[in-house]
Amino acid sequence: MSRTPLAQPGGAVLSVTSLDSPPGLAGIDWGRGTERHELAGTHSEALRSWFGSRLQTSEPLSRYTSARIGGPAEFLAVAASSLALTEAAQAAYRLAIPLLILGAGSNVLVADEGVAGLVVVNRAKGVEYRTEAPRIGVRAESGGAIGALARQCAQQGLAGLEWAATVPGTVGGAVYGNAGAHSGDTASCLTLAEILQPDGTVQHLTADEMGFGYRTSLLKKLTADRRLSATVLAAEFALTRDEPSTLLARIEQFVAHRKRTQPPGASIGSMFRNPPGDYAGRLIDAAGLKGKRIGRAEISTVHANFFVNRGDAQAVDVKALIDGARETVQRKFGVTLELEIELIGEWAS
């Protein structure tokens, strides 16, 4: 391995560790708005030789999303460890095909037409607890559920992640989108994020270097601009000591609040970011849209910023609800709602 500098936008230079592998290609698109790649020739054969029987074709992504919505992945593989995740991502980088890393499948709406290229379902769940000073905390691989990690830390008497107990995504998703709840967020406790770049290098970024903002990060911003397709491998969180009974009681309060205020069943998650000084759910409700349905997709009657699948909903119907809610709120209140979720796959312009 070797150490080499890597420049961030804005000129900051970070130190990275190079993996012993050929460089990949930067700027791979995650499949948003791209033409479907024809992989039937050597690419298909290369993927099959790489993954063997683990490679699936035309696999419905509705099986892997929290809303149970989504068309087929051209190719799909499951990564059960951080090493397997690294190897799978590098396969896509080397072949120069679109790559999507999918964790719990929350906060994404996958198009009915599906996703071109390779989808890697991240099931890397290794955890290392650090219970002795001065490095009290936890290191978790990116495919583990952030909510389960929060509860496990509480059981160990490690405080600081209780806010995440009701967050439906993975550790990697929490890092990517700066997940937050109950006055806490990823930025408040992250010490290092391990990020695999398309050229085969691994960055170790601090919270400051991650460029966290409200439900966003440097990774999310760059990916949206099609300049970076990086993979979160693991994250380290700084925690403190407290009584397990105190921490678990706090978590139960958060769980009870979620049950009172958020709809059960198949949901994408919070649809829109809260605008400054207001709440997206309040605006959608005030616009008279709570309970509106298109097909089997519904704006929840419990919380208007949650759109739910009432059974066999199509992504195009959810998208129509999104567009209708944005247009109505803009017309009635002059507020432009910004998506918190991401649109994944092949969407008509």
Q: Based on the domain organization, do 59 and 145 belong to the same domain?
A: no
pLDDT of residue 260: 93
Residues 268, 255 within the same domain: no
Q: Are residues 62 and 142 in the same domain?
A: no
Q: Put residue 241 in one of left, alpha, beta given phi > 0 → left and psi -120 to 50 → alpha.
A: beta
Q: pLDDT tens across 173-205, in order?
A: 999 999 999 999 999 999 999 999 988 899 999
Tell me if 340 is assigned to some domain. yes
**What is the spatial distance between Cα 8 and Cα 316, in angstroms, rounded to a whole number?**
36
Q: 14 near 6, Cβ under 8 Å?
A: yes
Give this prediction's pTM: 0.84
Are residues 88 and 184 both part of a single domain? no
Q: State the Cα–Cα distance between residues 242 and 200, nearest whole angstrom.
A: 39
Domain-ending residue, one of 203, 225, 259: 259
CA atoms of 122 and 82, how far apart (whole Å)? 9
Write the pLDDT tens digit of every residue in 141-174: 999 999 999 999 999 999 999 999 999 999 999 9
215, 229, 267, 300: which one is catalytic? Answer: 215
Does 215 qualify as catalytic in the annotation?
A: yes
Judge if 115 and 150 occupy the same domain.
no
- Residue 279: predicted pLDDT: 97
Q: Cα–Cα distance between 239 and 256 in angstroms, integer?
A: 24
Q: Is residue 15 part of a domain?
A: yes
Catalytic residue among 66, 270, 300, 346: 270
Enumerate residues 6+ apart whose C-beta is below 8 A from 223: 30, 229, 230
**Highest mean pLDDT (candidates 90-94, 328-332, 344-348):** 328-332
Contact 214/273 with Cβ under 8 angstroms? yes
Check if 331 is active-site: no
Q: Which of 104, 109, 97, 150 is nearest to 124 (CA)?
A: 104
Whole-number pLDDT of residue 16: 27
Do 118 and 165 share a domain, yes or no?
no
Q: Please identify, among 95, 122, 149, the residue that sits at the C-terminal boundary of a domain.
A: 122
340 is catalytic: yes
Sequence-separated (6 or more) residues with CB below 8 Å from residue 256: none
Count: domains in the chain: 3
Residue 307 lies in a domain: yes
Same domain, 280 and 223: no
| CATH for 112 | 3.30.43.10
Residues in contact with 13: Cβ distance below 8 Å, sequence separation at least 6, in sequence order = 5, 6, 7
Same domain, 213 and 234: yes
CA distance 208 to 178: 12
349 within some domain: no
Q: Choose one of 220, 244, 259: the last residue of a domain.
A: 259
| Containing structural domain, residue 104 | 3-122
Asked if 133 and 254 sit in the same domain, the reply is yes
